[in-house]
A and B are shown apart, each in its own frame.
Chain A
Amino acid sequence: MRSSAALAPGSSIDMKAQDGATARSMWRITLQRMKRSNTAMIGLTIVMLLLLVALLADVVAPYSPTETTPVSMSPPTWQNLMGTDLLGRDVLSRVIHGSRVSVYVGVVSILLAIVIGIPLGTVAGFYGGHADQVIMRIMDIMLAFPIFLLAIVIMVILEPNTTNVVLALSIVRIPILARIVRASVLSVKETEYIEAVKALSLSQIRVLRRHVLPNCLAPIIVTSTLNIGNAIIIEASLSFLGLGTQPPTPTWGWDLKQNLTLIELNPWITIFPGLAILVTVLAFNLLGDGLRDALDPRLKA
């Protein structure tokens, strides 16, 4: 103990420097590996474009998404590239504005789930005992519901609006993230590396934050990116069932549902919102796949 106490200050500085170096090189290596994968770069590009379109929807969209015109049910023309719906609204503008809800719900719900899931999983995995039992039993009961069903249950209790969809989608994601984090913490906790760090008698929080959690990052990042795509599908499905964001805010799911009744008259206006969902989810999945291969080849499913 005496010698480790004497060693601690100097070695912790060394470790800090080294930590920084490994963290930087980990991201650099990841980026380099990503660049080699065409599919991952396609995914990344589409995701970036999507974020831009969602942010600049007012500038990019040729018309207002809610303005009605006499040009009803038009097929794609040069004036309306994706046609118009029953009320004469420009479908392209609605698809562009619809990206806002989808991207917002997908990204924010996953971030929220991470913010809550990481501490839960860490406490359960690192401290074990009663805390572990209580947390994981609650997570088990939540996992006893299929994700989509749980999201529906929450939306039935809450009022259907965008904020509550974010809430519902993050709640259903928490048990999954908590499990992943707990498993990684458990496996990292037993490694000699953490034993060594512990022997330096650093505080537990510090060990967790600087040494245990960074080693669990890869699975969290990969799962989260892949989950964004799934969250966007669930958001669209909820909107499709009328349990999500309410009109007049344009969403892809609700537009699809509205235009579905008119599919025989004008199939185009149903196809475009659907394609928008498909491309968005595909982009996040490509990015997630690329990240998985780049961050840790062993994680291949």
Chain B
Amino acid sequence: MKEYIVRRLVLLIPTVLGVSVVVFLMMHFIPGDPVALLLGDYYTEATAAAIRAQYGLDKPLYTQYFIWLTRLFVGDWGQSIIANRPIFDDLVYRIPVTLELIVLSMGFALLIAVPAGVIAALKPYSWRDYGAMVTALIGVSVPEFFMGILLILFFSLFWGILPAVGYVPIGESLWGNLTHMILPAVTLGLARAALLTRLVRASMMEVIRLDYVTTARAKGVRESAVVLKHALKNALIPTVTVLGLQIGFLIGGAIVVETVFAVPGVGSFGIAAISLRDYPQVQAFVLLFAVGFVLTNLIVDILYAFLDPRIKYGTATS
């Protein structure tokens, strides 16, 4: 087990470096000269050369890459062009907001998916099963922004129960924070809930037929205990893995959902930067989400190895 974790950590290094190279090169593929963009009307050959020297843009590409990488490690994520302040300061404020959104939406997805999947699996091909499956299929087919708009339309505009957009920090008011986060979290969680419902149902139906479940029933264990303790526990293993794989979708979805609900997280920060062509900020946004994605995948893999002792982590992954 320890060996497995160490090997995964070692394998992490080339992946993260690869991601950083892609994000670094991205800036060089963007058409247009950043120095010209920065100087605007004040552009002259002399000032441009001076700026290039100041930012190290006259050095070879690989030197620039290493300088950039070392700065990232000491928390120097560059300066935003439009806001003219360190990007790192913005990120420190925005990362917890995005994390809260993702955690709440995952929680919501599980809260819906596990009971719905179990109920559907216990009586397969009943109206409850069909109902759950049709809802789930529609759920995976709705784009997040449309779902968000529908929720705003009903809960904010028609019924006036919840605020449509905006954000209140937890420090200010826990209640205010939650009421502002409910609609974004539900929006982001619904599509995941739909997918997980199908998965919980499928793995429940597989597990509930196994011999050990029959044995549990035969020795007189209460049906609720059979379902919850014996069957569900094992049926949840694939669910946890898929939930981990869904993190990529949650991160992608967070970009859209934060934009729709004006939640000040990393995603809306990135989209605002793209429309303002504030490329250092775009770079920070992409790097942060990609590295966050790689790290969560690693954590999920390790958790999975803990959960399912049958997984072969001794052999090389090929």
Give chain A's interface residues, CB within 8 Å of chain B: 137, 140-141, 144-149, 152-153, 156-157, 159, 229, 233, 236-237, 240-243, 253, 256, 260, 263-264, 267, 270-271, 274, 277-278, 281-282, 285-286, 289, 300-301
| Nearest-CB residue, chain A, relative to B275 | A242
Asked if B150 lies at the interface with its beta carbon under 8 angstroms from chain A, I say: yes
The verdict on B49 contacting chain A, using a C-beta distance below 8 Å, is no
B161 contacts chain A at the CB level, 8 A cutoff: no
Tell me the complex Cα distance, A145–B271, Å: 16
Check A149 against B146 for contact (C-beta < 8 Å).
no
Nearest CB on B from A296, distance (A): 15
Contact residue among B138, B140, B149, B293 (Cβ-Cβ distance under 8 Å from A145): B293
CB of B152, distance to nearest CB on chain A (Å): 7
Among the stretches B72-80, B209-217, B250-258, the one at the interface with A is B250-258
The interface residues of chain A, by DSSP majority, are classed as helix
Across-interface contacts of B282 in A (CB, < 8 A):
156
Q: Given A263-B153, A278-B138, A145–B19 Cβ distance below 8 Å?
A: yes
Across the interface, do B19 and A149 meet the contact criterion of CB distance under 8 Å? no
Establish whether residues B255 and A144, one from each chain, have CB atoms under 8 Å apart when the complex forms: no
Shortest beta-carbon distance from B7 to chain A in Å? 15
Q: Report which residue of A140, A144, A242 has the largest number of chain B beta carbons within 10 angstroms of its beta carbon.
A: A144
**Interface residue? B302 (CB, 8 A):** no
Q: List 20 A-B contacts (CB under 8 A).
A: A137-B18, A144-B293, A144-B294, A145-B19, A145-B290, A145-B293, A148-B251, A153-B23, A156-B26, A233-B141, A236-B143, A241-B256, A241-B259, A241-B271, A241-B274, A256-B149, A264-B157, A270-B149, A278-B146, A285-B137
A289 touching B26, Cβ below 8 Å? no
Whole-angstrom distance between the Cβ of A257 and the nearest chain B Cβ: 8
Q: Is B169 an interface residue, CB under 8 A from the partner?
A: no
> Contact flags (1/0) for B246-289 with A, using CB distance below 8 Å?
01110111011001000000000011001100000010001001
Nearest 3 interchain pairs by C-beta:
A148-B252, A146-B248, A274-B146
Question: Is B142 engaged at the interface, CB distance under 8 Å to the other chain?
Answer: yes
Are B141 and A282 in contact, with the CB atoms below 8 A? yes
Task: Considering the complex, give the chain B residue whose CB is closest to the CB of A274.
Answer: B146
Q: Does B15 contact A (CB under 8 A)?
A: yes
B129 close to A (CB within 8 Å) = no
Chain A residues contacting B293 (CB-CB under 8 Å) are 144-146, 149
Given contacts A141-B18, A146-B248, A260-B149, is CB(A285)–CB(B29) below 8 Å? no
User: Complex: how many Å from CA A144 to CA B248?
Assistant: 9
Chain B 131-173 against A: per-residue CB contact (8 Å), 1 yes, 0 no?
A: 0000001101111111001101100010000000000000000
Interface size on B, residues (CB 8 A): 47
Q: Is the interface of B mostly helix, strand, loop or mixed?
A: helix
Q: State in angstroms the CA–CA spacing of A156 and B279 once bound together.
A: 10
Taking a contact as CB atoms under 8 Å apart, the answer to whether A278 and B252 are in contact is: no
**Given A146-B252, A242-B275, do A141 and B22 touch, yes or no (CB 8 Å)?**
yes
- Is B110 an interface residue when CB atoms closer than 8 A count as contact? no
**Residue on A with the closest CB to B138?**
A282
Report if B199 contacts A (CB, 8 A): yes
Are A256 and B152 interface neighbours, CB within 8 A? no
Known: A156-B282, A157-B29, A264-B157. A146 touches B146 (CB 8 A): no
Closest to A267 in B: B153
Asked if residues B145 and A240 are in contact (CB atoms below 8 Å), the reply is: yes
* Contact A274-B150, Cβ < 8 Å, known A145-B293, A229-B141, A243-B274: yes
Give bound CA distance, A271 to B150, whole Å. 8
B316 to chain A, nearest CB (A): 12
How many whole Å from A166's CB to the nearest CB in chain B?
18
Interface membership of B122, Cβ < 8 A: no
Convert B76-96 into 0s and 1s, putting 1 for each residue whose CB lies closer than 8 angstroms to a CB of A. Answer: 000000000000000000000
Query: How far apart are the CA atoms of A260 and B157 in the complex, in Å?
Result: 12
Chain B residue at smallest Cβ distance from A284: B141
A149 with B286: CB separation less than 8 A? yes
Inter-chain contacts of A264 with B (CB < 8 A): 157
On chain A, the residues within 8 Å of B15 by CB distance are 140-141, 144
List the B side residues contacting A153 at CB < 8 Å: 22-23, 26, 286
Q: How far is the CA of A7 from the CA of B64 in the complex (A)?
A: 64
Tell me the complex Cα distance, A82–B95, Å: 41
| CB of A211 to closest CB in B, whole Å | 23
